[in-house]
Structure 1
Amino acid sequence: MEYSDEHHVHFEEHGYVRLGKVLDDAGLAELQERIDAIMLGEIPYPEMEFQLDGEDADYAKMPTVSAGHKGTTLQYRKIMGLEQDPVYLAYMQHSLFRQITRRYIGEDVSIFRAMFMNKPAEKGTILPWHQDVGVGWGVGYNPTTTVWTAIDPATVANGCMQVVPGSHKHGVITEGHFPSEEQLAEYAPPGAEIDLEAEAGEAILLNNLLLHRSGINPTGQSRRAFSIAYMDGASRSVSTGEGYPMIFGAEALIPA
């Protein structure tokens, strides 16, 4: 599997590019079973950060994200810190992602986050338009490349991601993460968005500046995904000065 010049041209122009089905059936099943086991507490990771899904679809009413398992349930909205898990870490170090990060970042590559995202069946939260950058991230260098992988099929019916192609060219629209109504009228007017449906096992490369959002999931099928935000290995936390988990390079993590 290769990252071609054609991929690059599309990514530069539109702010996203489809990478195809990166996971075969066995690899997909392994990630599906592994994340279920983590949610159910069968594989404990006390330092991972967990967030349960909310009681309704209002993003502002979401439970907080904090370290530690929150109970035996598949109703988690978000789990962060999956680089701690050897199965997910091995996927994060896929040879295709090494090609991509070498092209856009360099030899030494860390991650801001390795995040499981879930819209449980007949639930899910509305995620408003936003960019994955800004002062709230607290990073010296804004991450530029995210690999998003569908763990379940992502469809219009179950709240797939929507993007505004080319919106990454505007740069950082707001340091506050979520644009104002006035900014959205300018940068994401009605009809500018497209639906990014995806097969289970398919990966999409996203520019972190790309405006995106997603809806609720009224279907009987969960809509799970895995998002990896890669960045320069020299990146440091603004508040602590500490580095981030290394994925590629001399100090890269090694799956146990």
Structure 2
Amino acid sequence: MASMIGLLVAITALLSSHCASADWSNATATWYGDRHGACTDVCTYIYCSWCVRIPGRRPHEAPFSSMITAGGPSIFQDGKECGACYQVKCSGHASCFDRPVTVVVTDSCPDCVDEPVRFDLSGTAFGAMAAPGQADQLLNAGRLQIQYTRVSCNWGNGLDIAFRVDGGSNPNYIAVAIEYEDGDGDLSGVELMQSGAAWQPMQRSWGAVWKYNSGAALQGPLSIRLTSGSGKTLEATNVIPGGWTAGATYRSVVNYNPN
């Protein structure tokens, strides 16, 4: 049990740092999936064993470590908030520990419309709000009133932004899932620049996936410019090489400041 507590503390430190002034708001929390995990794929970040588009990736593995959440419409915002980080805590149940834990928005909860703000947490994340040894009692409650605050994402360990090329891409069309943005965690705009060309806007396809249809063969290498939710820009120069492969992941050497 002591090792589990240490793991959860480490995950919280890895994923997020506190905002300068944390303002807590009220929300409802439920949980879904396995009691010690979850399955989510709307944002295209992670996949369970039955999600075969990226064999071998599992939500319980780092860096997500199952500390994930689906969001109701006010949190998910049609996929615009994919990657956003929140801290959540509970205090109204006997098993609550009143210690915040950090979760990442990776999925949609379209049925979460009965409250203004709803987090549908993984079983792991829901249980992490419990006092030591009382995760099962908290999970048995099923639904809790919680407090939440938006925080800066900090993936740590030198993890830079990655671009995973969607399997449906072709020489004239590319779609990429953008992962591991520090800071805001979410994006308001993405642009693509072919070799020797000007910047062109990409369109959000769904969740964390952005697409661009050139109408002609794309000329690599491709650079990508990101605009975060708060308007900060960042360029990943020549991040996708000429001769790129659908389904491949290309890692940049840049990321936002997490503070």
So what's the TM-score if we normalise by structure 1?
0.25
Q: Say which structure, 1 or 2, has more relative contact order (CA 8 Å, 6+ apart).
A: 1
Q: Tell me which protein shows more helix as a share of its residues.
A: 1
**TM superposition score normalised by structure 2:** 0.25
Which structure features the higher share of strand residues?
2
- The structure number with the bigger radius of gyration is 2
